[in-house]
Each structure stands twice: as structure tokens, then as C-alpha cells.
Amino acid sequence: MDYISFETAMSLTGMGKSTLWRAIREGRVRHIVAKPASGHAKARIDLDSLLPFVTFPVEEEERAHILAADTGNAPSQLEVALMLLEADQTERARPWLIGAARGGLPDAMCHLGQCLVSGTGVALDLDAAKTWLRGAAERGHALAAALVAGLEE
């Protein structure tokens, strides 16, 4: 079985913390309690039992990206963000885009900049948008360079 963090489970399903715990108590979602080296117990959610609650189709490739994104893999974080954006779950895509953008991925920076320009899933913030778009443009992202030029006219 593959397990993901509670936060990833909430992001994928749109469930709040209490709703997810209720699904666990009712036996609809399985979990384990892991004790990392820090000594603080953390709930980990069984991905297979969560899939019926995920708002987009999850095939093997998407599953692999979810598992990798949960560990902080920036390219997979971008893929999860794109899955959520495609499913019109823009607010839930934001943290994944931010993680991938902070990981230095120009595509993530450009997507995040576009969301900030349009206010899609985030508050409209032209200054932050320009920062992310410039970062992507500096890394050779052509669309980001064109968007920055358009914003600075």
C-alpha cells in the first residue's frame, strides 16, 4: 500500500480535516499512524482508499506523480497542480504550483504568474506575478518573457 500525507489527501479531495477524519472513522478511507524520528505521530492516508474521493481521474502515471509530489518532488508537484487546474480546482492547485515554482521550475513559475495576473485560485497580485514571470523568463521560458513584456508596457 502507498500512503500520502493528510495534507495531500485534503488537497486531492477537497475534504476538510474533520470530513477526512469522519471518512476514516466510518471506514471509507484507511490510514496508518506513522511515528517519524521527530517522535510526533502523523496520520498517513492510504492512496487506494482515497481514490474514490479524488476529483479527477487517477491512472498509474498520475498516481506516481501524486506519490512523488507528496515527498516534495517539484516536477511532480507541477503535474499534480496541472491535474487540479484541469479539474477546475484552482485554489487546491495553488500550493502545488508554489512548491514547484520554489523548486525552480520555469513552467510552474509561469503558471503561477498567470494565476496571479488573472486572480485564478489566488488573490490578484501583479507584483508577485511579475516576480514569478521574470524568474521563468530568466530561465528561458518564452511565454513568461512575453507576459512580462506585456505587463510592463
pLDDT tens for 92-139 read: 999 999 999 999 999 999 999 999 999 887 888 999 999 999 999 999
Mean pLDDT of 33-57: 86
Max avg pLDDT among 17-26, 28-37, 40-49: 17-26
pTM here is 0.89
pLDDT at 35: 73
Q: Please answer whether residues 133 and 113 qualify as being in contact, where contact means their C-beta atoms are separated by less than 8 angstroms.
A: yes
Report how far residue 93's alpha carbon sits from residue 52's, in angstroms, rounded to the nearest whole number: 19
Average pLDDT, the chain: 93
Query: Residue 58 is inside which H or E element, if any?
Result: none
